[in-house]
Amino acid sequence: MSRLDSFIRRMTAQRDILNHVCVEVSKMEGPVMELGLGNGRTFNHLRERLPGRRIVAFDRKLAAHASSIPDDENLVLGEIRETASTFVGIEAALVHADIGTGYEDRDEVTLTWLPDLSARLLRVGGMAVSGLPLEHPQLQQLPPPPSVPTDRYFIYRRV
């Protein structure tokens, strides 16, 4: 599969899963944590799907399109592992993490802290969506919607 086809497949899976979980998240209290703002496409999508919801976006540096930048109080720049840790206990309804690199060695390092951080940011019953698997005793993996191939993108509920 070409890298372009893989990217399209990943973006389609991401959109379909976010649409799927936003139905449930819209019924919960708590903010949304966007780990990895990037160019802001997902932030923009979540803002449309969850109008009025606080969305806190984290990234190393600002690189988002001007139309997809959160206000200053909801944009946190710096190393995500460190900056997002200061929000532990916020009882988020959703944590979305699209910070995989496609390089196995780098992603292995991310997976040493991302599952635990995600679980600690979420409220009980909250949802985590990630491009990387989040194996953690407090995160129960859920099946993706039928349009998403297994292990392409992941959904979890905080138990």
Burial 109-148 (b: 16+ CB within 10 A, else e): ebbeebbbbbbbbbbeebbbbbbbbbebebbeebebeeeb
Q: How confident is the model at residue 1 (pLDDT cuts 50, 70, 90)?
A: confident
- Give the pLDDT band (50/70/90) at residue 140: very high
How far is Cα of residue 48 from the mean position of the Cα atoms in its chain? Answer: 16
Kindly report the pTM of this predicted structure.
0.95
Instruction: Decide if pLDDT at 149 tops 90.
Output: no
* pLDDT tens string 64-111: 999 999 999 999 999 999 999 999 999 999 999 999 888 899 999 999
Residue of higher predicted confidence among 158 and 9: 158
Token digits of residue 79: 């190393």
Q: What pLDDT digit, counting tens, does each position of 12-40 carry?
A: 999 999 999 999 999 999 999 999 999 99
